[in-house]
Amino acid sequence: MKILGVIPARFASSRFPGKPLININGKTMIQRVYEQALKSKKLTKVIVATDDERIKKVIDGLGGECFMTDAAHESGTERVADAYAQLKEEYDYILNIQGDEPFIEPSVIDDLCDLLDYKTEIGTAVKKIDDYDTLRSPNVVKVVLTMRKQALYFSRQVIPYVREVNSDQWLENSDFYKHIGIYAYRSDVLQQIVKLPVNVLESTEKLEQLRWIGYGYQIMTIETEHESFGIDTPEDLEKVFNNNK
């Protein structure tokens, strides 16, 4: 099976402009993500998709492949699809590896690759929630799963609702999962989902995966024990340093 890893890296982040190029202990963030992805044992190739020549220069300097993509793309998925089209090589699956997770575990990438069986349309990762701050935060996306680990729904709200139990005892009475933002798309499915119009579910919660579910695509999941450390703001960067000392 041929699996392509694509790291979308947009320069003009509204909350943290230029974050792919921030220095983290002597290396840019995009370099750290790229090097972590290269440690995967299951990816056939890793490339970067960006909208900025400065980011491309970093990856070129590492001997990697980086594709310039449209600055107007509204999601990492669109940027990934753009780079894949430019690559002009056939792959069975394409992984979207977040460009703002400099300490992503290669084992998470490999575990997600193990889920892929040609039947799986879209795959992603989840982690069990074990504290109430995470459970209640609207910035943490929660997901409800079927018994076979298919995602039923994603929400910024706490789901599922535990009836007849006080909310401060929910973790002791049910399992809750947070979404880890790495995706695997079957190549034909990737080309289909980037053409879908926004639906009411996505526009309500501002979660692009609800577009796919809303149009009937199935998202399978793997559970990981590894934490996700995405950097959206300068404050997030400080937290990442504290968690990875």
Distances (CA, A) of 173 to 132, 158, 164, 166: 13, 14, 11, 10
Q: Name 160's Cβ contacts closer than 8 Å, sequence gap at least 6.
A: 144, 174, 176
- What is the C-alpha separation between 234 and 142, in angstroms, rounded? 24
In a domain, 117, yes or no: yes
Give the alpha-carbon dihedral of 144, 150, 155, 157, to 10 degrees: 0
CATH number at residue 176: 3.90.550.10
Q: How far is 55 from 90, CA to CA, in rounded Å?
A: 25
Q: Determine which helix (DSSP H) or strand (DSSP E) holds 31, and give its type and residue range.
A: helix 29-38
Q: Quote the DSSP letter at residue 172.
A: G
**Does residue 70 sit within a domain?**
yes
Three-state DSSP class for residue 54: helix
Burial per residue of 99-118, b for 16 or more beta-carbon CB atoms within 10 angstroms, e otherwise:
bbbbbbbbebbebbbebbee
Round the CA-based radius of gyration of the chain to a whole number and report it: 18
Q: How many CB atoms lie within 10 A of CB 42?
A: 18
User: How far, in Å, CA of 236 to CA of 101, rounded?
Assistant: 11
CB within 8 Å of 72: residues ≥ 6 apart: none
Give the structural domain span for 85.
Answer: 3-231
| Nearest alpha-carbon partner for 59 in 82, 39, 32, 97 | 32
219 located within any domain:
yes
Within-domain flag for 238: no
Residue 181 lies in a domain: yes
Each of the 245 residues of the chain gets a pLDDT tens digit; together they read 999 999 999 887 666 678 899 988 899 999 999 999 999 999 999 999 999 999 999 999 999 999 999 999 989 999 999 999 999 999 999 999 999 899 999 999 999 999 999 999 999 999 999 999 999 999 899 999 999 999 999 999 999 999 999 999 999 999 999 999 899 999 999 999 999 999 999 999 999 999 999 999 999 999 999 887 777 676 766 766 555 55
The Cα–Cα gap between 226 and 245 comes to 16
Cα-Cα end-to-end distance for the chain: 37
Q: Is residue 28 part of a domain?
A: yes
pLDDT of 210 reads: 97
pLDDT at 49: 97
For residue 244, being part of any structural domain is answered with: no
Does 80 fall in a domain?
yes
Domain count, the chain: 1
